[in-house]
Amino acid sequence: MKHDAFTRGVEPGGLYNSHEIKILVCYMLNGAGEPMPRQAVLEIIAGNGMANHFETGNAIDELIRHDNIIENEDGTLVLTETGCQIADTLAGMIPYTLRERSVKAALQLSTRIRRERENSVKIEKLEKGCDVTCTINDNNQPILTFTLRVADRMQAQLVRENFLNNPVLLYRSLLAILIGDAQLTHGDTRINIDLK
């Protein structure tokens, strides 16, 4: 296949046909089950080599023009009833591996967006190092807040990323340690936690 601006970045097995790209977009939004930012949809599909970035953007625009997708004021995309029908009836035209990868990536991103909305990380640059303040919220009420001082901005970003990857695991682990459900072994250098 000739590689030009419209096929660049597409991995083997990816989509080149506009009609198929539109079906994949609908399928992914349907599988995510909630609105997704337009940029996130582009990054998932184009960033993972499923289709070309330009073609994916055009497919989204066309889906919006034909009322298969609604773009909210905040830039999130919502599938309409017609878009859901497209996802349900035409999904078989798209290779299973692409459907699976797109929905898996969409669900991971949705989970991450929700975690960032429900929890917060504040990084404060200091004269030497950074303070990283992480907060876990439940119904907009903080249930755990802690501040770590780290050596530099790179460490601060690592703390942020790892905290937002699974704040519940951190909360449950810390709670287990503090209430005595954790066991110290090997000269107090290893902590075994049974998360019930």
Q: Which of 18-27, 43-52, 80-89 has the lowest mean pLDDT?
A: 43-52
Q: Considering only 8-22, 36-50, 71-85, 182-196, which range has the smallest mean pLDDT? A: 182-196
pTM: predicted TM-score of the whole model, two decimal places? 0.66
Residue 92 confidence (pLDDT) above 90: no
What is the DSSP track for 99-115?
A: HHHHHHHHHHHHHHHHH
CA 130 to CA 110: how far, in whole Å?
A: 29
For residues 97 and 22, the model is more confident at 22
| Residue 101 pLDDT grade (very low, low, confident, very high; cuts 50, 70, 90) | confident
Share of the chain above pLDDT 90, in %: 39
Q: Answer yes or no: is pLDDT of 12 > 80.
A: no
Which has the higher per-residue pLDDT, 190 or 8? 190
Which tokens is 4 given? 């030009």
Quickly name the fold that domain 18-116 has: Arc Repressor Mutant, subunit A (1.10.10)
**pLDDT of 7 strictly over 70:** no
pLDDT tens profile 124-179: 999 999 999 999 988 888 999 999 999 999 999 999 999 998 898 888 888 888 88
pLDDT, mean of residues 87-106: 87
Name the residue with higher pLDDT: 195 or 157.
157
The band of 102, judged by pLDDT with boundaries at 50, 70 and 90, is confident
Could you state, in order of their start, the residue ranges of all structural domains in the chain?
Answer: 18-116, 118-193
What band does 5 get if pLDDT is binned at 50, 70 and 90? Answer: very low
Q: Is the pLDDT of residue 4 over 60?
A: no
Could you tell me the end-to-end alpha-carbon distance of the chain, in angstroms, rounded to an integer?
54
Q: Collect all residues with Cβ–Cβ distance below 8 Å to 142 and sequence separation of at least 6.
A: 135, 136
Question: What are the C-alpha distances in Å from 57 to residues 36, 110, 132, 160, 193?
Answer: 14, 20, 37, 30, 46
49 confidence band (pLDDT: 50, 70, 90): confident
